[in-house]
Amino acid sequence: MFDMKKIDLKRLFLAFLALVVVVPFLTFAGHTKKIYVDTGASNNQDGSSKHPYKTISQALKNANKDTVVYVAEGTYHENLVVPKGVEVNGQGRDKTIIEAKSDDDSAAYLNGGAKLTKLTIRDGKNGVKVSDGGRVKIIKCRIEHNDRDGVIIYAGKLNDSNKVTISETEIRKNGRNGVYSEKRNLVVDNSDIKDNGSDGASFDSGVMAWIDGTNFLRNSASGLKVRLDGAQIYTKNNTFSDNEREGVEVDAFGQTGRVDIKNSKFSDNSNYGIARVQRKAFFGNTWTGLTIENATFSKTNLGEVSGIFKLFN
């Protein structure tokens, strides 16, 4: 015969197990808050899809962590401060344009955990300024025509939770560098950095970076400028072409570091494909930290890889 007490206990246990699984799911499901923005919005603005806000700044004032702000097609004359953990999502970088209202400040300032997707950012003092902490992502954007740097990244811890990712993004025609980064964990992939007024990208000492599948084209100084000191920079499958100085400039002040350049193409740069510049007197094998593998060079005016230039201030 069946033991009914055992059967009831089994049913009770299975019911309890179901609650353990289902309740957390119900608790976290739908946790993301959605706010909508449309430059054509009129009365009764509450940020809903039927009654969107007229400005992104209105939406950001009502946003908190895990909020996605959906921005309709149009041009928005604003300087944005994006709070921690908030994503601003456009309809496409050719459709949703953030044009800085004031060129005395960055067009967009990103706090930790913020994300920009499918937007054009332009006409600020800088395009996008990234705070000194938290993971930040810039995906499928265009950053252009800013007075200084397209993207400026403040120093932060090098762990994964402070990583800055720039992916599938076009950074062009900014007055200084396309990207400037202080010591930070950084990823740049599948992007175009071109026609900027100084270097395509310039990294300070101690940067940890992964650069893959990116084109550095027609910048007014070097395509990529890095400091060997304390660096952990790994690059592959990139193109450096038609820059007015070097394709890549590597500076060294005497600290050890690592810069790997792999599987990349160099063509039509005005000086060297890769230039090595020693900025301070030092002894030792510091330059062994620079490795070049499977690089191809064509039409380099002064040569493929320079000797070591000693330029001491």
3-state secondary structure the chain: CCCHHHHHHHHHHHHHHHHHHHHHHHHHCCCCEEEEECCCCCCCCCCCCCCCECCHHHHHHCCCCCEEEEECCEEEECCEEECCCEEEECCCCCCEEEECCCCCCCCEEECCCCEEECCEEECCCCCEEECCCCCEEEECCEEECCCCCCEEECCCCCCHHHCEEEECCEEECCCCCCEEECCCEEEEECCEEECCCCCCEEECCCCEEEEECCEEECCCCCCEEEECCCCEEEEECCEEECCCCCCEEEEECCCCCEEEEECCEEECCCCEEEEEEECCCCCCCHHHHEEEECCEEECCCCEEEEEEEECCC
Q: 300 and 198, same structural domain?
A: yes
Per-residue confidence (pLDDT) for residue 3, from 0 to 100: 52
Q: Where is average pLDDT lowest: 58-62, 179-183, 226-230, 309-313?
A: 309-313
Q: Is the pLDDT of residue 77 over 60?
A: yes
Per-residue confidence (pLDDT) for residue 30, from 0 to 100: 52
Q: 159 and 14, same structural domain?
A: no
Q: 238 and 182, same structural domain?
A: yes
Q: 83 and 26, same structural domain?
A: no
Q: Taking the alpha carbons of 154, 156, 158, 163 in that order, is the dihedral positive or negative?
A: negative
Q: Is the pLDDT of residue 9 over 80?
A: no
Looking at the 3D structure of the chain, how many domains does it have? 2
Is position 186 within any domain? yes
Average pLDDT (150-177) is 97
Q: Where is average pLDDT lowest: 190-199, 208-217, 220-229, 293-302?
A: 293-302
Is position 174 within any domain? yes
Tell me the per-residue pLDDT of 38-63, one tens digit each, with 9 for 90 and over.
999 988 899 999 999 999 999 999 99
Average pLDDT (183-208) is 98
Is position 4 within any domain? yes
Residue with tokens 């928005």: 76
Is position 61 within any domain? no
Is position 283 within any domain? yes
Average pLDDT (20-42) is 69
Q: 275 and 146, same structural domain?
A: yes
Per-residue confidence (pLDDT) for residue 42, from 0 to 100: 87
Is position 218 within any domain? yes
Q: 211 and 151, same structural domain?
A: yes
Q: 142 and 8, same structural domain?
A: no
State how far the Cα of 240 lies from the Cα of 192, in Å rounded to an integer: 11
Per-residue confidence (pLDDT) for residue 12, from 0 to 100: 52
Q: 106 and 4, same structural domain?
A: no
Is position 64 within any domain? no
Average pLDDT (155-165) is 96
Q: Is the pLDDT of residue 11 over 90?
A: no
The residue ranking higher by pLDDT, 311 or 40, is 40
Token pair for 142: 């265009």
Question: Measured in Å, how far apart are the chain's first and last C-alpha atoms?
Answer: 95
pLDDT tier at 10 (50, 70, 90 boundaries)?
low
pLDDT tier at 17 (50, 70, 90 boundaries)?
very low
Q: 114 and 18, same structural domain?
A: no
Q: Is the pLDDT of residue 20 over 50?
A: no
**pLDDT above 70 coverage of the chain, percent:** 90
9: containing domain: 1-31
CATH number for the domain harbouring residue 294: 2.160.20.10
Q: Is the pLDDT of residue 91 over 60?
A: yes
Average pLDDT (222-234) is 97
Per-residue confidence (pLDDT) for residue 285, from 0 to 100: 86
Q: Is the pLDDT of residue 220 over 90?
A: yes
Is position 7 within any domain? yes
Per-residue confidence (pLDDT) for residue 26, from 0 to 100: 40
